[in-house]
């Protein structure tokens, strides 16, 4: 696992964008695995700038997203489909018909069947990841056992607390989500995690301990052959990580 310490969030976002840009230039019809959350927003803005100013071409790129809340219409401003359109897809020349975000409304089992079928026929060239304060990846919450494929998760109370900042009240935060499983994530050719915010506990377990712990799903990144973690120097200093 490669760990890059960036001087600040802007640098982390630029370095993340460099990795995505290289893949898109080398393989114009690549598949990007994408993530929501505030951590990758700066990288998405930088990719949008490079598309507009530097001709970075997404016209042949496909994408698949990690997860979606159960119960939110795609037009809801906190749905992950809305997030992706608003933060990335509306600002680059990607064909939205080639972007996949799992459905959050309707029959959950049918939605998961479709999501798993989509994942089974897709090779993800790079999977972008954030991390929850409890170490979750996508919405794979800490547990005794983790899932291989896409499935429904009940959100942890700490995840509801962390995500309530985006909703009018805590009661408005959905209790369930559909998410890629850990197997889907680990099968991506490359993993790219951008870490921002209060993730000290998860980062201690990922970077300082050498345990693979299902109670901190991000630690599974250590087993991937081509995983990159980009974190800010401030966070590295806070947990005493020197590289
Ligand atoms: C949500 C998403 C995760 C994301 C996490 C962290 O829970 N399902 O994929 O990593 O938020 O978000 P942030 O980057 O805002 O801290």
Predicted local confidence at residue 47, as pLDDT? 98
Smallest CA separation from ligand 1 atom 10, residue: 130
Q: Are strands 62-65 and 99-100 parallel, antiparallel or unpaired?
A: parallel
CB 193 within 8 A of CB 230: yes
Predicted local confidence at residue 171, as pLDDT? 95
In whole angstroms, give the CA distance from residue 113 to residue 129: 23
In whole angstroms, give the CA distance from residue 181 to residue 240: 31
Is 179 a pocket residue for ligand 1 (Cβ < 6 Å)?
A: no
Is 141 a pocket residue for ligand 1 (Cβ < 6 Å)?
A: no
Query: Ligand 1: distance of its center to the CA of 154 in Å?
Result: 15
Range of the structural domain that residue 126 is part of? 2-239
Is 79 a pocket residue for ligand 1 (Cβ < 6 Å)?
A: no
Q: Please report how many Cα atoms fall inside a 13 Å half-sphere around the Cα of residue 185, on the Cβ side.
A: 35
In whole angstroms, give the CA distance from residue 179 to residue 153: 7
- The structure tokens listed for 212 are 């693979």
Smallest CA separation from ligand 1 atom 9, residue: 138
Q: What percent of the chain has pLDDT over 70?
A: 100
CATH number assigned to the domain comprising residue 90: 3.40.50.1360
Predicted local confidence at residue 197, as pLDDT? 86
Query: Ligand 1: distance of its center to the CA of 132 in Å?
Result: 5
CB 212 within 8 A of CB 203: no
Is 38 a pocket residue for ligand 1 (Cβ < 6 Å)?
A: yes
What backbone torsions phi and psi does residue 24 show, to the nearest 5 degrees? -65, -40
Query: Ligand 1: distance of its center to the CA of 138 in Å?
Result: 7
Predicted local confidence at residue 107, as pLDDT? 97
Query: Ligand 1: distance of its center to the CA of 225 in Å?
Result: 23
Is 217 a pocket residue for ligand 1 (Cβ < 6 Å)?
A: no
Query: Ligand 1: distance of its center to the CA of 36 in Å?
Result: 6
In whole angstroms, give the CA distance from residue 200 to residue 132: 10
- pLDDT tens for the chain, residues 1 to 243: 999 999 999 999 999 999 999 999 999 999 999 999 999 999 999 999 999 999 999 999 999 999 999 999 999 999 999 999 999 999 999 999 999 999 999 999 999 999 999 999 999 999 999 999 999 999 999 999 999 999 999 999 999 999 999 999 999 999 999 999 999 999 999 999 999 988 999 999 999 999 999 999 999 999 999 999 999 999 999 999 988
Alpha carbon distances (Å) from 190 to 44, 124, 221, 226: 18, 8, 10, 5
In whole angstroms, give the CA distance from residue 223 to residue 97: 33
Nearest to 34 by CA among 74, 89, 75, 71: 89
Query: pTM for this one?
Result: 0.97
Per the structure, how many domains does the chain have?
1
């Amino acid at each position: 696992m490669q760990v890059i310490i960036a001087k600040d969030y802007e640098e982390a976002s630029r370095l993340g964008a460099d990795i995505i840009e290289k893949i898109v230039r080398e393989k114009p019809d690549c598949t990007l695995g994408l993530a929501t959350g505030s951590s990758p927003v700066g990288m998405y803005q930088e990719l949008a700038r490079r598309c507009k100013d530097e001709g970075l071409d997404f016209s042949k790129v496909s994408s698949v997203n990690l997860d979606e809340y159960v119960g939110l219409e795609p037009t809801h401003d906190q749905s992950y489909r809305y997030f992706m359109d608003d933060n990335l897809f509306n600002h680059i020349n990607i064909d939205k018909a080639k972007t996949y975000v799992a459905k959050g409304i309707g029959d959950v089992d049918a939605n998961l069947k479709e999501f798993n079928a989509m994942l089974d026929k897709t090779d993800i060239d790079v999977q972008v990841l954030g991390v929850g304060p409890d170490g979750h990846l996508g919405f794979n919450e800490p547990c005794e056992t983790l899932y291989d494929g896409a499935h429904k998760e009940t959100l942890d109370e700490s995840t509801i607390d962390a995500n309530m900042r985006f909703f009018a009240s805590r009661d408005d935060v959905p209790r369930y989500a559909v998410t890629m499983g850990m197997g889907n994530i680990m099968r991506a050719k490359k993993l790219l995690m951008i870490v921002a915010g209060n993730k000290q506990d998860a980062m201690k377990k990922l970077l300082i301990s050498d345990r693979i712990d299902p109670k901190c799903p991000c630690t599974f990144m250590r087993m991937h052959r081509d995983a990159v973690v980009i974190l800010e120097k401030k966070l590295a200093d806070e947990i005493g990580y020197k590289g």
